[in-house]
């Protein structure tokens, strides 16, 4: 294992410490299982040879030994597998929490790619690949080394030269396995990229299939897709070929050890160093060792994928933010104004809007209007500090910070799997039901929620009741209002709502929350909403650059 791999794997291995006793017992039992297997075969060989040659011996001890090995091998294997898998699951749970915490530490801007389902799947899949670390990478090598060492010692008692041969073979097995692991690592990166490319290409293909067919381009694109699939298959095949070749080398080594054991113990028998039964015992233990050696290359084929997964998961660590200090509730009650000074925003390489300057004052409702697709949401993200401003400066009065003083309704309606109550109070603050009902009434959802079978406890989200898009929009708006921060930034709050309802709702909430600084980003302005009765602040019409 080279230094770089160690860097990637170290943070994961560190977590092993928390379950070290369990792992210690598990690996001990795994080694015992391997040794019992060797013991069963070699003791049986010894027993039969001794019996056939009428060597004088106490027949009951080996008989009991054989029965003991037969039963304990099964038992230790069963217990070992339970313990080790339990340890892996515990580790996995820990890694999952650690990964989640790490992602939370990231700046919101860098989280954007995660919103795509693909990114989430990718993360979970990589996390699953880490399962291999203990069971497929660490356990086989430890079991192999331990049981080989014990067998070498055992052979050393009888025939030192055979023990040396076994030691050399064991080292060779380790060497070719490690070499293969290194090769798979380079390959795994290629495989990962190739799979991703295939996924992208295949999804683009099915998405555009109607157009491809109409244009008569289906055939050529189909061929290109199958070609990419073939490239990926070839990489997989290459990895398997590598693994099989290594397995073959290991088999050759272990069969050579077996042949050497036959010859060396044959000589030792002829010179009277060992008895006939002992010779058979040694030869058969060489046969049994083969099985343990063959495990190594078959399990280590996944090394590359595990390292690649570890690397990718760690890549998320790059942009960790300092945790945000929460402010005392005192500062949240203050009225705070927000100033935009000559702000323009870039997305990618494109400047989106002409520079804007404005002052947003407490107690007033301000509008940022413009047609869809202009970059209004980018401006909102710039205000939140998720997107750097191309030009200009954003300041909050009284030195307040953005993270604690702006409530932000994102353009995308994010509803979590959970009850309405949980969705209104995500951080589990102490909050009475009256407070929730009051806000629901402001957004005219109280009657809807009351009519639901379990009222506030009704599940919403992917597996809950189907609320309409407009109802969900009002639910998340209620959540923003409950935060009670001095500045309220709403990105398209009226999506999916009738204009009459939007107008009423806006009048209700502005009247209920005094001294808030309201900023509404929308393609609708106060005129389209039939001039609601609210303290009107500035209306700014955004223009494309």
Partner 1 sequence: MNADFASASAYLKQLAAYVKRPIQWAFLLGLLKTVAVIVQLSFLALLAERLFVGEYSLWSQPMLLIGLSLTSLLRATLPQIQQQFLRRATLLASQQARQKLADDWQRKLLAGKPLAAADGSLQLEPIESLKGYFSRYLVQQYLVVTSPLLILLVCFYLNPVVGALLLISGPIIPVFMALVGMGAERLSQKHAQQTFALSRVFTDKLRNLTTLKLFGAGTAAVNDVAAAGEDYRKATMSTLRIAFLSSAVLEFFSSVAIAGVALYVGFGLLGYIDWLGADQLTLFTGLFVLLLAPEYFAPLRQFAQSYHDRAAAVGAATLLCELNKDSLTAEESSGTSDDLRKDTHLYAWNNLSVTFGSSGANKQLKFPDSEIARGELCVITGDSGSGKTTLVKVLLGQLPFQGQLSQPVESTHQIAYFAQQPFLTAGSLRANLNIFEHHSDAQIFEALAQVRLDKLLATLPEGLGTKLSEHGVGLSGGEQRRLALARCLLSQRAVIIADEPTENLDEVSAEAIRKCLQSYAHDGNTVIVASHDPLLIKRATQLIKVSA
Of 344-383, binders to partner 1 (CB under 8 A) are 347-351, 371-374
Site for partner 1 in 402-421 (CB under 8 A): 407-408, 410, 414-417
Query: In angstroms, how far apart are the furthest CA atoms of the chain?
Result: 111
What binding mask, one character per residue, do residues 203-222 give for partner 1 by CB under 8 A, x or -? xxxxxxxxxxxxxxxx---x
Taking the C-alpha atoms of residue 209 and residue 15, their distance in angstroms, rounded to an integer, is 47
Sequence-distant (≥ 6) Cβ neighbours of residue 432 within 8 angstroms: none
State which residue, 5 or 80, has the beta carbon closest to partner 1.
80
State which residue, 114 or 168, has the beta carbon closest to partner 1.
114
Range list of β-strands (E), 290-388: 338-347, 350-351, 356-360, 365-369
- Segment near partner 1 (CB under 8 A), from 91-99, 298-306, 508-516, 528-536? 91-99
For the CB of residue 423, give the shortest distance to partner 1 in the complex, in Å. Answer: 9
317 binds partner 1 (CB under 8 A): no
State which residue, 157 or 324, has the beta carbon closest to partner 1.
324
- Segment near partner 1 (CB under 8 A), from 101-109, 134-142, 171-179, 183-191? 101-109
State which residue, 513 or 545, has the beta carbon closest to partner 1.
545
Is the sign of the CA dihedral 40, 42, 43, 48 positive or negative? positive
Site for partner 1 in 47-86 (CB under 8 A): 47-54, 59, 62-63, 66-67, 69-71, 73-75, 77-78, 81-82, 85-86
* H or E element that contains 367: strand 365-369
Looking up tokens 């037969």 gives: 70
DSSP letters spanning 88-118: HHHHHHHHHHHHHHHHHTB-GGGGGGGGSHH
For the CB of residue 91, give the shortest distance to partner 1 in the complex, in Å. Answer: 10
Are 176 and 250 contacting, i.e. CB atoms less than 8 angstroms apart?
yes
State which residue, 41 or 439, has the beta carbon closest to partner 1.
41
In the list 190, 276, 331, 359, the residue contacting partner 1 (rule: CB under 8 A) is: 276
284 binds partner 1 (CB under 8 A): yes
In the list 92, 161, 455, 539, the residue contacting partner 1 (rule: CB under 8 A) is: 92
For the CB of residue 354, give the shortest distance to partner 1 in the complex, in Å. Answer: 13
For the CB of residue 397, give the shortest distance to partner 1 in the complex, in Å. Answer: 21
For the CB of residue 156, give the shortest distance to partner 1 in the complex, in Å. Answer: 21
3-state secondary structure at position 58:
coil
27 binds partner 1 (CB under 8 A): no
In the list 1, 93, 157, 171, the residue contacting partner 1 (rule: CB under 8 A) is: 93
For the CB of residue 189, give the shortest distance to partner 1 in the complex, in Å. Answer: 18
The Cβ-side half-sphere exposure at 9, using a 13 Å CA radius, reads: 22
Are 541 and 370 contacting, i.e. CB atoms less than 8 angstroms apart?
yes
Taking the C-alpha atoms of residue 61 and residue 59, their distance in angstroms, rounded to an integer, is 6
Site for partner 1 in 149-178 (CB under 8 A): none
Neighbouring C-beta atoms of residue 345, cutoff 10 Å: 26
Per-residue tokens: 89: 């699951």
- Which residues lie across from 167 on neighbouring strands? none
Per-residue tokens: 24: 């210690």
| Binding residues with partner 1: total (CB under 8 A) | 129
3-state secondary structure at position 257:
helix
For the CB of residue 175, give the shortest distance to partner 1 in the complex, in Å. Answer: 17
Long-range contacts of 244-249 (CB under 8 A, 24+ apart): 246/176, 246/177, 246/179, 246/180, 246/297, 247/294, 247/297, 247/298, 249/172, 249/176
State which residue, 111 or 149, has the beta carbon closest to partner 1.
111
Virtual torsion, Cα 372, 378, 380, 384, nearest 10 deg: 170
Are 108 and 384 contacting, i.e. CB atoms less than 8 angstroms apart?
yes
State which residue, 186 or 259, has the beta carbon closest to partner 1.
259
For the CB of residue 6, give the shortest distance to partner 1 in the complex, in Å. Answer: 27
Give φ, ψ of 419 to 5 degrees.
-80, 170
State which residue, 75 or 524, has the beta carbon closest to partner 1.
75
For the CB of residue 431, give the shortest distance to partner 1 in the complex, in Å. Answer: 12
In the list 153, 241, 511, 541, the residue contacting partner 1 (rule: CB under 8 A) is: 241
For the CB of residue 456, give the shortest distance to partner 1 in the complex, in Å. Answer: 17
In the list 11, 22, 168, 199, the residue contacting partner 1 (rule: CB under 8 A) is: 199
3-state secondary structure at position 145:
helix
For the CB of residue 535, give the shortest distance to partner 1 in the complex, in Å. Answer: 26
Taking the C-alpha atoms of residue 72 and residue 37, their distance in angstroms, rounded to an integer, is 9
Residue-wise burial string across 265-292, b where 16 or more C-beta atoms lie within 10 A, e elsewhere? beebbeeeebbebbbbbbbbbbbbbeeb
Site for partner 1 in 449-508 (CB under 8 A): 461-463, 476, 479, 483
State which residue, 210 or 457, has the beta carbon closest to partner 1.
210
In the list 96, 182, 327, 334, the residue contacting partner 1 (rule: CB under 8 A) is: 96
The Cβ-side half-sphere exposure at 275, using a 13 Å CA radius, reads: 14
State which residue, 85 or 504, has the beta carbon closest to partner 1.
85
In the list 104, 193, 319, 342, the residue contacting partner 1 (rule: CB under 8 A) is: 104
In the list 193, 319, 326, 357, the residue contacting partner 1 (rule: CB under 8 A) is: 326
- DSSP class of 15: G
In the list 15, 16, 28, 90, the residue contacting partner 1 (rule: CB under 8 A) is: 90
Looking up tokens 């298959």 gives: 233
- DSSP class of 399: G
For the CB of residue 207, give the shortest distance to partner 1 in the complex, in Å. Answer: 4
């Amino acid at each position: 294992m080279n230094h770089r791999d160690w860097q990637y794997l170290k943070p994961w291995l560190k977590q092993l410490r928390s379950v070290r006793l369990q792992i210690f017992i598990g690996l001990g039992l795994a080694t015992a299982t391997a040794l019992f297997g060797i013991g069963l075969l070699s003791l049986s060989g010894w027993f039969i040879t001794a019996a056939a040659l009428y060597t004088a011996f106490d027949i009951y001890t080996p008989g009991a030994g054989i029965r003991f090995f037969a039963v304990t091998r099964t038992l230790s294997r069963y217990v070992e597998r339970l313990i080790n898998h339990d340890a892996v699951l515990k580790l996995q749970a820990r890694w999952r929490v650690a990964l989640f915490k790490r992602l939370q530490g990231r700046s919101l801007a860098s989280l954007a790619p995660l919103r795509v389902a693909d990114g989430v799947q990718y993360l979970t899949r990589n996390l699953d690949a880490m399962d291999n670390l203990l069971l497929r990478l660490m356990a086989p090598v430890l079991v192999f080394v331990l049981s080989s060492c014990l067998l070498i010692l055992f052979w050393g008692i009888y025939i030192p030269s055979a023990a040396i041969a076994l030691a050399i073979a064991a080292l060779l097995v380790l060497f070719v396995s490690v070499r293969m692991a290194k090769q798979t690592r380079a390959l795994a990166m290629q495989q990962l990229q190739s799979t991703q490319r295939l996924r992208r290409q295949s999804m683009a293909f099915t998405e555009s299939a109607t157009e491809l067919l109409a244009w008569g381009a289906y055939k050529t694109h189909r061929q290109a897709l199958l070609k990419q699939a073939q490239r990926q298959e070839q990489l997989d095949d290459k990895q398997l070929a590598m693994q099989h070749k290594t397995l073959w080398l290991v088999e050759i080594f272990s069969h050579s050890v077996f042949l050497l054991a036959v010859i060396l113990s044959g000589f030792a028998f002829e010179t009277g160093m060992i008895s006939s039964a002992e010779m058979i015992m040694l030869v058969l233990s060489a046969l049994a060792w083969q099985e343990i050696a063959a495990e190594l290359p078959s399990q280590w084929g996944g090394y590359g994928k595990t390292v690649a997964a570890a690397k990718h998961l760690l890549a998320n660590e790059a942009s960790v933010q300092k945790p945000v200090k929460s402010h005392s509730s005192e500062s949240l009650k203050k009225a705070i104004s927000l100033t935009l000074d000559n702000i323009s925003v870039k997305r990618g390489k494109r400047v989106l809007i002409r520079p804007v300057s404005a002052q947003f004052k407490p107690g007033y409702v301000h509008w940022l209007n413009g047609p869809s697709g202009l970059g209004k949401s980018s401006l909102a993200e710039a205000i939140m500090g998720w997107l750097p401003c191309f030009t200009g400066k954003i300041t909050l009065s009284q030195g307040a910070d953005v993270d604690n003083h702006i409530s932000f309704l994102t353009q995308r309606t994010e509803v979590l799997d959970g009850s309405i109550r949980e969705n209104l109070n995500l951080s589990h603050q102490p909050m009475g039901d009256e407070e929730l009902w009051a806000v629901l009434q402001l957004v005219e959802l109280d009657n809807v929620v009351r009519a639901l079978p379990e009222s506030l406890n009704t599940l919403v989200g992917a597996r809950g009741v189907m609320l309409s898009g407009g109802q969900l929009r009002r639910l998340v708006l209620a959540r923003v209002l409950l935060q009670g921060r001095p500045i309220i930034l709403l990105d398209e709050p009226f999506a999916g709502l009738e204009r009459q309802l939007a107008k009423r709702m806006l009048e209700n909430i502005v009247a209920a929350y005094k001294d808030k600084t309201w900023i509404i980003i929308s393609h609708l302005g106060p005129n389209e909403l039939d001039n609601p009765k609210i303290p009107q602040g500035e209306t700014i019409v955004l223009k494309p650059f």
